Amino acid sequence: MSSVPASLLTGFTYVMESFMIASPPVKSADEELVALARDGDHKAFEKLVERHNQKAYRIAFGFARDREEAKDLSQDAFLKAFMNLKKFDGRSGFYTWFYRILVNVCLDYKRRRGRRTDEEFNEAVENQLDPNHGIAPTVALDEQVLASELSRKVGVALEALPPKQRTAFILKNHQGLSIKEIAEVMQTAEGTVKVHIHRAISALRQTLAELA
């Protein structure tokens, strides 16, 4: 029995692979769901929500520092995305486009609301430290008090930041997005994002030192 030389087999395989029609790039799960949702499939959009709701909530919470407000803001962002899905052109990923909407919703809310009073900050922070709210119920009382005070000061300091610095800082520090991702969400250059983050941190250090 004659055996085909290995080198011939390898060459044959190489030729066949080079002539094979490349299969179309695999669509991401998000893109498939977006395509279905644009055709009116509500279930597809609900799946998109399930994939992104926790991250969206955390971003909104970074801005609002209050559970109910964060819930409302993230839901508003999802509704806006739902209403404007036909305008999504697919040039960026769905999450980039959606997080842009979410950030704008959060910033609009802050602009309308203005700065919170110290009492509102204290109440929001105390709610978060309530054992029924699901945060660290086993932390000692004095640590809770210190944490509450620091959180209040941080909230004041964050509110004092200009919107773009606050956005860049929250997305980087709280959410761990990369500089590149933040630049896509904010539709600006990566160098600009770096400057915003640096200035935000400088301002926070100064404000927290003044509040100490």
Residue 201 within binding range of other proteins, rule CB under 8 A = yes
Of the two residues 103 and 171, which places its CB atom closer to other proteins in the complex?
A: 171
Residue 62 within binding range of other proteins, rule CB under 8 A = yes
* From candidates 44, 59, 85, 125, binder to other proteins by CB under 8 A: 125
Residue 167: count of CB within 10 angstroms of its CB: 24
Measured CA distances, 134 to 67, 123, 129, 130 (Å): 11, 16, 8, 7
Measured CA distances, 77 to 3, 70, 103, 155 (Å): 65, 11, 9, 22
> Shortest gap between Cβ of 1 and other proteins (angstroms)?
56
Binding mask 82-121 for other proteins (x = CB under 8 A): xx--------------------------------------
Q: At what angle do helices 67-83 and 94-113 cross, to 10 degrees?
A: 130
> Shortest gap between Cβ of 93 and other proteins (angstroms)?
20
Q: How many residues bind other proteins (CB under 8 A)?
A: 45
* From candidates 67, 109, 122, 163, binder to other proteins by CB under 8 A: 67
Residue 72: count of CB within 10 angstroms of its CB: 15
Give CA–CA dist 99/141, Å, rounded.
36
Residue 50 within binding range of other proteins, rule CB under 8 A = yes
